[in-house]
Structure 1
């Protein structure tokens, strides 16, 4: 199947949640992290998820990515329902169709940059698409750092390797959990710029949890969570608009 045909056969929605509930504990100690959430993640767009601490934003991302189970409801990656998948099938889906970027760079210190980038594919026994890999490496500005080990790279460069690793297997969707949280503002802006370019130039779909209004301003759409529910959204945001919206949440996470 050609790339054009493959993309044409996919829906315009890369991932979706239907009536998703996530609860921890039972009885009086039961905590509702997600409360009947419905959301569509558009393909080929950059979506940011924001909300006060404890609002459920990381839980939502982890459930969408198949990293956590739901108590009730359904999660889909494209047309594949992942709720109820056996561990082996779910692991395979995450490996082949989903990419991840976290605060911690999660690089192996004994491998150089290119080896860290291709490691997931090497483990899966898949050969990288050389043309695509070169495009990814160029997009994130690593062409002259591929032989360097993590200890020889700055924090920003290490996170570039992590971004390239997520992009290299050409996943259908990439999830980022505070991907710039451990970086200074300059390095963080570089990483966000690379993520933006990967959407605009490489057609990637990205979902990012963040607390930073500047980071959220790189997204096409911002979803706001409070008390486990999506309570608002914004398209084409600016950092000031995001900050103003966040200020409307009181200390308990409800819209004022």
Structure 2
């Protein structure tokens, strides 16, 4: 039986990809195209941010890449698995076993303590956590002294750290974050973003985050900019200032 490490070593450098993906809602005169023939590759063990004006398709792209929304045409892959060809049961199993999610709302169960919330998805799936990995995740997100606390006993930033640890605990191939710091103040948001950054650098996790915040995007290795359902630009090694300048140009173009 191959170890987790040996499996990682033989994986493709691409964690997920979209090929000529179209996502449209409605038909005829009421048809709205949210994604317009999008091609993109998400690199493994890298942090990718997705940005764009309201209505640009950034959340739709993430939902399609994560298998939460079906494409109208084109193909979506996670690793070598084609999500766009899967039936519901297989897709549900793939999302459970290979994909992690972090949402703006923390989605913690109030009756469970932090550790129980972290391991809940694996408990439901009937899988035992890898204890060494779980310990490392808990250390990375700084929760070792909060494991017995219930969500009401934790700050917003600590609750989101529990959600981050929950997403990391099953060692998914890729984690998607939908505005994961949107409900946090700037200090707590920076704290959570730092943990996401560490999970990429130290745990070799693959992270994709939709955000409207240039400061959050600056934690990523790469930023994809969407406009009108298309990827119009990307930026490597972003800074908050460079991202903000790019977003201002978007706004200026829309107003002209």
TM over 0.5: same fold?
Answer: yes
Aligned partners of 1:133, 1:197: CA distance in 2, in Å? Answer: 15
Instruction: Report the alpha carbon displacement of residue 5 of structure 1 after superposing the two structures with TM.
Output: 1.8
- 113 and 106 in structure 1: CA distance in 2 versus 1, 3 angstrom threshold: same
Aligned partners of 1:65, 1:208: CA distance in 2, in Å? Answer: 11
Find out whether 1:221 has 2:222 as its counterpart.
Answer: yes
Task: Name the structure 2 match of 1:119.
Answer: 120
Instruction: Report the alpha carbon displacement of residue 64 of structure 1 after superposing the two structures with TM.
Output: 0.0
Task: Name the structure 2 match of 1:211.
Answer: 212
Instruction: Report the alpha carbon displacement of residue 253 of structure 1 after superposing the two structures with TM.
Output: 4.9
Instruction: Report the alpha carbon displacement of residue 3 of structure 1 after superposing the two structures with TM.
Output: 2.5
Instruction: Report the alpha carbon displacement of residue 181 of structure 1 after superposing the two structures with TM.
Output: 0.1
Q: What does the per-residue CA deviation read over 1:57-113, in whole Å, with 9 as the maximum and x for residues that have no partner? A: 000000000000000000000111010211110000000000000000000000000
RMSD: 1.1
Instruction: Report the alpha carbon displacement of residue 156 of structure 1 after superposing the two structures with TM.
Output: 0.5
Instruction: Report the alpha carbon displacement of residue 213 of structure 1 after superposing the two structures with TM.
Output: 0.1
Aligned partners of 1:191, 1:133: CA distance in 2, in Å? Answer: 18
Unmatched 5+ stretches in structure 1: none
Aligned partners of 2:39, 2:33: CA distance in 1, in Å? Answer: 15
Structure 2 counterparts to residues 1-256 of structure 1, below 5 A: 1-250=2-251, 253=254
The 4+ residue runs of structure 1 with deviation greater than 4 A are 251-254
TM-score, scaled relative to structure 2: 0.98
Unmatched 5+ stretches in structure 2: none
Structure 2 counterpart SS, 1:249? helix
TM-score, scaled relative to structure 1: 0.98
Q: What does the per-residue CA deviation read over 1:24-47, in whole Å, with 9 as the maximum and x for residues that have no partner? A: 001111000000000000000000
Structure 1 counterpart SS, 2:250? coil
- Asked if structure 2 preserves the Cα contact closer than 8 Å seen for 1:100 and 1:166, the reply is yes
